[in-house]
Chain A
Amino acid sequence: MTQPETLSVEIAASTCRVWRHGAGRKLGFLAGFGGLPRWMPVLDRLSAQRQLIVPSLPGFPGAEGFRSLDTHLDWLLAVHDLLQQAGLDGTDLVASSVGAAFAAEMAALWPSSVRRLVLIAPFGLFDEADPPADPWAVRPADQGALFCADPARWAELKAVPEGANSIEWPIIQNRASEAAARAFWPLGNTRLERRLGRITAPTLLLWGAEDRVMPRTYAQRIAAALGGPSEIRIIEGAGHLAELDRPEAVAEAALAWTA
């Protein structure tokens, strides 16, 4: 497995792990629901061509603290501080799911902080007529099938690695789910839709054809509201966390968009 350089940065809420790997122009990556308990193949693909910087959001694996974040403003400032300190200012960003909701907010509120944007099925919207699935009301055994087209991809991401603490590991995974809940409970609706018009960064919307969390219609909805150019690409054979199911296809699209 790739051994990225592991740094840590301090923000008010938390000490956050930042992985760095590869060379070239910087590219930031924000993980989706569940975070990054381990390195994964899409990161290899992205770092083959770029200097990839992967900060862990507060509460997700690699960044324990998040329980001082009470409001959406608290979260936005924490993510902003984290990206700044990780060296991601004015760079391209690839982000998935809950991470993509924050990446979109960064581009909306601090337009100069993001150059080009790749959003994989972002959270943040809720349409009563076509609601997302409830990611916090799912039996543990059914999580894989909710988040990935191939449940085995989720199982691989979350499996206890050899030598890991078998008590702390499941608590860390549960904390990632809690952190997402703290920011997005109960509907995932942060009213991001109201701010999409402020995003001028060229934005690629990637959506797994088999996304069982976020309805695919949200891609059109987001594209129509964005303030800058955008494109939608559907990834066949991929679920909500398309980067887990189809790392090559996602990386190829992201690298081409941010070239």
Chain B
Amino acid sequence: MKLMWFHLMPYTELPDDFRERHPSVWVDIHSSLFDPKRAHVMYNDFMDELEYAAACGFDAICVNEHHSNGYGLMPSPNLIATALARRTTDTALCVLGNSLALYNPPTRVAEEFAMIDCISGGRLIAGFPVGTPMDTCYAYGQNPSMLRERYLEAHDLVVRAWTERETFAFNGRFNQQRYVNIWPRPVQTPHPPIWIPGGGSVETWQWCAEMDYVYCYLSYYGYKAGRATMQGFWDEMARLGKDRNPYRAGFLQFIGVAETRAKAMELYRGPAEYFYGRCLHVDPRFATPPGYVTEATQRAGLESQVQKAANANPVLGSTTGTRMQAVAREMEDIVDRGYVIVGSPDEVVAQLSEVATELNVGHLMLLLQFGNMGKDLAQYNTRLFAETVMPRMRGLFAEWEDRWWPQPMARETRVTPPAFHPGALAAE
């Protein structure tokens, strides 16, 4: 199986009373909380951590896109991925991803991803999320009633831009371009593998099946909460006659490993409570812009609520924002609910193997830095995982082929960037 190292790049110095004094970590989080000189240190630490994970042997390092967000400092994951391409060799670069409807024209995504693919010698995984309501509709002002239509059209345009050999005109409903002809072109043919991070909507599952894309469920709530969604995904694959190849799926999981469970609880309590307490503090005003959740998904949500005889104030479909309202914030509860898998190497192997097999997920995206975790602890967690957990999980799903993994140029044809010695350069 594939073990991938994921960074959200959270701002690590939100104040202790953040929940009490500030309405939201996202959209209108106050600029006074951001210290660019501290962010200089954070960005460099985070990139060190990603490079370290690559050096420890993780199959991929993963970055993602958020806007106006105190727990996600990557408005442009492409900038980070490009820097990582120069400081890693064989590790896949998973950009999960670019929210297609936010780019005008969307060919910008085709170009930048092609650049990363060229610079890295074909190591890119191209992720295309719709994007959360907070990112897309509020921070970026996109119309929620047209977001999905724009996303799907932008996808078609990007794929054509990667694959058509001649300059063409794109006459879309939302995008018109007379001359589409991107330079550079991606190394991978026909194009980098496309992965789709999504919530639990049946339309997304069907589309992934139709397009033969990887579906990624990036939940912050762990394997217990993710079980029903992944069950729904595999049921839908079965209904559509698709095989159970676990590499059709990706799943996000927080991990804290230490020599003993007691030590792990002690080490990761602070970062976990910081993440679930402060980072997921989103004002519910920004959770459900009308039209973001399709009517079919609203209907399914309401029907299941009626079946459960649930509350009198129905929620019209669940979004990233609505799920954040009901989150556990204390370590014992966080661990009980399975948000974070915490324990000794043996315990983590046991639980994570169960997650992989029960959810039937071949791509595990692991958050080994979370909340306000510093670089030392992040690297300890990463190294211990790589040395004691990874070797015992790698063999899972050996019977299946991962058809969705990057196909880089042959090792001997790829360049090795020279080591960086600024003093030596100056002396030349």
Contacts and interface: CB of A to CB of B under 8 A. Distances in A.
Contacts of B285: 137-139
A174 B290 CA distance: 6
A140 B302 contact: no
A170 B302 CA distance: 9
Interface string A153-179: 000000000000011001100110111
Contacts of B291: 178, 181-182
A139 B284 contact: yes
B232 interface: no
Contacts of A137: 138, 285-286, 289
B302 A185 contact: no
Given A136-B290, A138-B285, A140-B313, A171 B302 contact: yes
Given A70-B146, A181-B289, A186-B143, 15 more contacts: A67-B145, A67-B149, A136-B144, A136-B289, A166-B302, A167-B299, A167-B303, A171-B316, A174-B290, A175-B290, A177-B290, A178-B144, A179-B145, A181-B144, A185-B143
Given A139-B285, A181-B145, A171 B299 contact: yes
Interface string B284-299: 1110011100010011
A137 to B, nearest CB: 4
A181 B299 contact: no
Contacts of B295: 171, 175
Contact of A185 (B145, B306, B313): B145
8 contacts: A137-B138, A167-B306, A170-B298, A170-B314, A170-B316, A171-B298, A182-B291, A185-B143
Given A138-B285, A139-B284, A181-B291, A70 B144 contact: no
A182 B149 CA distance: 12
Interface string A122-162: 00000000000000111111000000000000000000000
Main SS of chain A's interface residues? helix
Contacts, number: 62
Contacts of A177: 290
A178 B303 contact: no
B316 A174 contact: yes
B178 interface: no
A171 B300 CA distance: 11
A175 B291 CA distance: 7
Interface residues on B, range: 20 to 34
Interface residues of A, number: 22
**Most chain A CB atoms below 10 A, which of B137, B145, B313:** B145
B421 interface: no
Contacts of A170: 298, 302, 314, 316
A175 B299 CA distance: 12
B34 interface: no
A171 B266 CA distance: 46
B173 interface: yes
B133 to A, nearest CB: 10
A143 B146 CA distance: 23
A180 B290 CA distance: 9
A248 B389 CA distance: 73
Contacts of B168: none
B174 A70 contact: yes
A137 B287 CA distance: 8
Contacts of A167: 299, 302-303, 306
Contacts of A175: 290, 295
Contacts of A178: 144-145, 290-291
B75 interface: no
A50 to B, nearest CB: 33
A58 to B, nearest CB: 12
A182 B137 CA distance: 12
